[in-house]
């Protein structure tokens, strides 16, 4: 039999945080998930970060990021993907939460080891089949795929859900979940008992909810014993309770086959703080008057824009061409349709192949639509519309992205937005924003933080000549350093930028160099540093087309 050869592709993928939430815009999300958002307080360079202007909030948000390790096996004869895995790892995008990062490192490694073991076993089994019978005869595009959902990412609590999706050629795919809840300041992992004010009563309420589910869909005989084991037995065969904490409540999860057969699915018990607040410690109940609800295309919600108790149905949809691209969107509001091109008075800035939205409710009860659009070549922009009693009104648009092309929950008081820059390289960088009085995102951050600076794929430059640069100690303010001659052969990791002509980069000893560039001349594209073309200053500058 002809021997087939295969090749394995290994590389790092990047993704930002993914989530969804229940839809109840008038009273806040029923089950919200906090996404990747930047921490409040003061950054190392002394610039302000997070929170509303002139206010002190206990919900300063920590900037978390999800990176992925990826492996695929392809056939070199058909070039078809046969099996793949994506393994997530969570990274803190600052230097202020070392204890949390250590906890995440341990958790990331456990996820990697377990998911890679499952993938490797499945790959070896299937490759033997493919070698002997041919891949065209058997299942292809098999996957062991992990993803992360964030529910809380503030200074009080980190709460996340890991979902593993497996399609390995059986009768049906399967999923498996894990949760992590941790104190972001100490890194201590928190159990359900740690956040409960009345653990026994919580167990009783969980038993009542499962009894209702049993009547409707049927659980395993003796599921009550399994529940008791999960809640009370040390080193239970079923593990400790899986749970997440959102701004609105606590959710307890049971994986497939734990309490019921596959047909019944996984069980999920919701405990909203509004109804079950007495069961949980007050310190973990995040209270805020403003809220945001994530919204997909054609997903309907109801809002009450003037607070008179009369709700209006709202949704949006893309006006797409035959290739799936949209240059305008239709907002359906209280039975009437509005074209975004007409509302803005101009066509959309890009042809959008993907979009998602958020309906934001301000503290004083006003509503805004944040409509995020993505086009080819990392293009992205945000449109903002006020949802008034009389209909939608265009507020403004910015070339900003809510964390790349992945959805994330939005806290109106503190959320991260990114943009792409081409200053000493091509990269994405973020700032912390809040929703301003007019509904537009506002920031007090002076500099953008370069996302790659905290990942395994840092933007690193190596100088070919001596460079005269201001150099300062790490953690000191911009402009406080002294001019130095940094010798040729030095390496620099890009850390921050003003998005115009200024970049901060770290030397191997941790000190910060300040680059102030001269913009290209009209019709030119080459930047200059100290009067010299930057291409003459560095061995390689990673620009993207």
Please provide the DSSP assignment of 49-79 as one string: ESS-TT---S--B--EEEEEEEEEEEETTT-
Per-residue model confidence as pLDDT tens digits over 145-184: 999 988 888 889 999 999 999 999 878 899 999 999 999 9
Assess whether pLDDT exceeds 70 at residue 536.
Answer: yes
Find the helix packing angle between 223-232 and 199-217, rounded to 10°: 150
The answer to whether position 43 is within a domain reads: no
Helix (H) or strand (E) holding 83: strand 81-92
CB half-sphere exposure, 76, CA atoms < 13 A: 7
| Domains of the chain: total | 4
Most confident listed range (14-18, 467-471, 521-525): 467-471
**Residue that terminates a domain, selected from 415, 445, 475:** 445
Task: Give me the pLDDT at residue 481, please.
Answer: 94
The answer to whether position 437 is within a domain reads: yes
The answer to whether position 20 is within a domain reads: no
339, 426: one domain: yes
CA–CA distance from 265 to each of 144, 257, 448 (Å)? 19, 8, 43
Task: Give me the pLDDT at residue 407, please.
Answer: 52
Q: Which residues contact 525 (CB under 8 A, 6 or more apart)?
A: none
164, 269: one domain: no
Work out the pLDDT band at 60, boundaries 50, 70, 90: confident
Task: Give me the pLDDT at residue 420, please.
Answer: 92
Measure the CA–CA gap between 380 and 370, rounded to whole angstroms: 13
173, 195: one domain: no
Assess whether pLDDT exceeds 70 at residue 43.
Answer: no
Task: Give me the pLDDT at residue 40, please.
Answer: 35
Work out the pLDDT band at 36, boundaries 50, 70, 90: very low
487, 396: one domain: no
Assess whether pLDDT exceeds 60 at residue 6.
Answer: no
Dihedral, 91, 94, 98, 104 alpha carbons, nearest 10: -10
- Looking up tokens 């997903």, which residue turns up? 299
Contact by Cβ (8 Å): 385, 394: yes
The answer to whether position 25 is within a domain reads: no
Per-residue model confidence as pLDDT tens digits over 503-533: 999 999 999 999 999 988 877 788 999 999 9
- Considering the chain, what is the average pLDDT of its residues? 85
391, 335: one domain: yes
Nearest to 277 by CA among 243, 240, 247, 241: 247
Q: What angle do CA 353, 356, 360 make, to 5 degrees?
A: 155
242, 315: one domain: no
Task: Give me the pLDDT at residue 322, please.
Answer: 83
41 or 390, which is more confident = 390
Helix (H) or strand (E) holding 271: strand 267-272
Could you tell me the CATH number of the domain that includes residue 200? 3.90.640.20
Q: Which domain holds residue 239?
A: 191-287
Task: Give me the pLDDT at residue 7, please.
Answer: 33
485, 431: one domain: no
Nearest to 515 by CA among 43, 452, 541: 541
Measure the CA–CA gap between 425 and 460, rounded to whole angstroms: 9
Task: Give me the pLDDT at residue 30, please.
Answer: 33
138, 203: one domain: no
β 460-462/441-442 pair status: unpaired
Work out the pLDDT band at 137, boundaries 50, 70, 90: low
**Residue that terminates a domain, selected from 410, 445, 480:** 445
Q: What angle do CA 165, 170, 176 make, to 5 degrees?
A: 25
The answer to whether position 113 is within a domain reads: yes
Instruction: List Cβ<8 Å contacts ≥24 apart for 111-119.
Output: 111/87, 111/146, 111/162, 111/178, 112/69, 112/87, 115/85, 115/87, 115/144, 115/146, 115/164, 116/85, 116/87, 118/144, 118/164, 118/166, 119/71, 119/83, 119/85, 119/144
Task: Give me the pLDDT at residue 135, please.
Answer: 67
- This prediction has a pTM of 0.82
**Residue that terminates a domain, selected from 240, 271, 287:** 287
Could you tell me the CATH number of the domain that includes residue 516? 2.30.30
According to DSSP, residue 296 is labeled -
The answer to whether position 342 is within a domain reads: yes
Work out the pLDDT band at 33, boundaries 50, 70, 90: very low
98, 147: one domain: yes
Task: Give me the pLDDT at residue 523, please.
Answer: 78
Write out the DSSP string of 220-250.
Answer: -TTHHHHHHHHHH-TT-TT-SPEEEE-SSEE
CA–CA distance from 419 to each of 210, 381, 456 (Å)? 46, 9, 20
Task: Give me the pLDDT at residue 210, please.
Answer: 97
Could you tell me the CATH number of the domain that includes residue 102? 3.30.565.40
Comparing 14-28, 48-62, 80-94, 130-144, the range with the smallest average pLDDT is 14-28
237, 145: one domain: no
344 or 488, which is more confident = 488
Task: Give me the pLDDT at residue 534, please.
Answer: 95
Per-residue model confidence as pLDDT tens digits over 477-512: 999 999 999 999 999 999 999 999 999 999 999 999
Task: Give me the pLDDT at residue 324, please.
Answer: 82
Quickly list H helices, 55-198. Answer: 98-133, 192-195
Q: What angle do CA 26, 29, 32 make, to 5 degrees?
A: 165
58 or 373, which is more confident = 373
The answer to whether position 455 is within a domain reads: no
Record the tokens describing residue 323, joined without a space. 């290739």
Main-chain dihedrals φ then ψ at residue 448, nearest 5 degrees:
-90, 140
Q: Encode 325-352: b = buried (16+ Cβ within 10 Å), e = exposed.
A: bbbbbbbbbbeeebebeebbeeebbbbb
438, 472: one domain: no
Nearest to 490 by CA among 532, 533, 461: 461
Per-residue model confidence as pLDDT tens digits over 423-453: 999 999 999 999 999 999 999 999 999 999 9
Assess whether pLDDT exceeds 80 at residue 189.
Answer: yes
Record the tokens describing residue 44, joined without a space. 């190392």
Per-state percent for the chain, helix, strand, coil, to nearest 5: 20, 40, 45
Per-residue model confidence as pLDDT tens digits over 270-310: 999 999 999 999 999 987 778 888 888 999 999 988 888 88
Q: What percentage of the chain reaches a pLDDT higher than 90?
A: 63
344, 416: one domain: yes
Assess whether pLDDT exceeds 50 at residue 405.
Answer: no
The answer to whether position 251 is within a domain reads: yes
Task: Give me the pLDDT at residue 10, please.
Answer: 36
329 or 86, which is more confident = 86
């Amino acid at each position: 039999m002809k021997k087939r050869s295969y090749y394995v592709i290994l590389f790092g993928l990047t993704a930002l945080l993914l989530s969804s939430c229940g839809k109840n815009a008038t009273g806040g999300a029923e089950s919200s998930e906090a996404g990747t958002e930047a921490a409040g307080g003061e950054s190392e360079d002394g610039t302000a970060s997070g929170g509303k202007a002139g206010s002190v909030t206990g919900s300063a948000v920590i900037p978390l990021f999800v990176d992925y390790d990826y492996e695929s096996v392809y056939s070199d004869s058909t070039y078809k993907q046969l099996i793949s895995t994506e393994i997530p790892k969570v990274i803190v995008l600052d230097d202020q939460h070392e204890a949390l990062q250590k906890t995440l490192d341990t958790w990331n490694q456990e996820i990697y080891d377990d998911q890679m073991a499952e993938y490797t076993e499945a790959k070896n089994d299937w490759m033997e089949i493919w070698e002997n019978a041919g891949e065209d005869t058997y299942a292809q595009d098999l996957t062991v795929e992990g993803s992360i959902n964030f529910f809380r990412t503030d200074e009080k609590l980190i709460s996340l859900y890991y979902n593993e999706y497996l399609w390995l050629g059986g009768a049906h795919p399967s999923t498996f979940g894990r949760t992590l809840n941790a104190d972001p300041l100490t890194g201590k992992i928190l159990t359900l008992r740690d956040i409960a004010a009345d653990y026994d009563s919580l167990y009783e309420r969980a038993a009542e909810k499962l009894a209702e589910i049993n009547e409707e869909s049927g659980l395993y005989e003796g599921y009550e014993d399994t529940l008791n084991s999960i809640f009370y037995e040390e080193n239970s065969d079923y593990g400790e309770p899986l749970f997440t904490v959102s701004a609105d409540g606590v959710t307890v999860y049971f994986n497939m086959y734990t309490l019921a057969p596959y047909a019944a699915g996984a069980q999920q018990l919701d405990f909203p703080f509004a109804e079950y607040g007495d069961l949980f410690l007050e310190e973990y109940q995040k209270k805020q008057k403003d809220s945001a609800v994530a919204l997909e295309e054609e997903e309907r919600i109801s809002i009450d824009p003037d607070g008179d108790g009369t709700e209006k149905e709202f949704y949006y949809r893309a006006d797409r061409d035959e290739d799936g691209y949209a240059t305008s969107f239709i907002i359906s509001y209280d039975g009437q349709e509005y074209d975004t091109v007409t509302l803005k008075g101009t066509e959309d800035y890009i042809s959008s192949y993907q979009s998602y939205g958020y309906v934001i409710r301000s503290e004083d009860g006003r509503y805004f639509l944040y409509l995020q659009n993505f086009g080819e070549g990392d293009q992205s922009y945000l449109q903002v519309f006020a949802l008034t009693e009389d209909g939608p009104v265009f507020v403004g648009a910015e070339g900003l992205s809510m964390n790349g092309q992945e959805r994330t929950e939005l806290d109106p008081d503190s959320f991260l937005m990114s943009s792409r820059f081409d200053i000493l390289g091509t990269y994405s960088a973020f700032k912390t924003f809040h929703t301003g009085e007019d509904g537009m995102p506002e920031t007090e951050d002076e500099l953008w933080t370069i996302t790659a600076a905290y990942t395994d794929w840092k933007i690193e430059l190596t100088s070919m000549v001596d460079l005269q640069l201001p150099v300062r100690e790490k953690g000191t303010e911009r402009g406080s350093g002294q001019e130095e001659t940094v010798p040729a052969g030095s390496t620099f990791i890009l850390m921050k930028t003003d998005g115009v002509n200024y970049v901060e980069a770290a030397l191997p000893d941790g000190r910060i160099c300040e680059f102030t560039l001269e913009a290209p001349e009209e019709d030119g594209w080459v930047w200059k540093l100290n009067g010299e073309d930057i291409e003459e200053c560095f061995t390689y500058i990673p620009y993207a087309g």
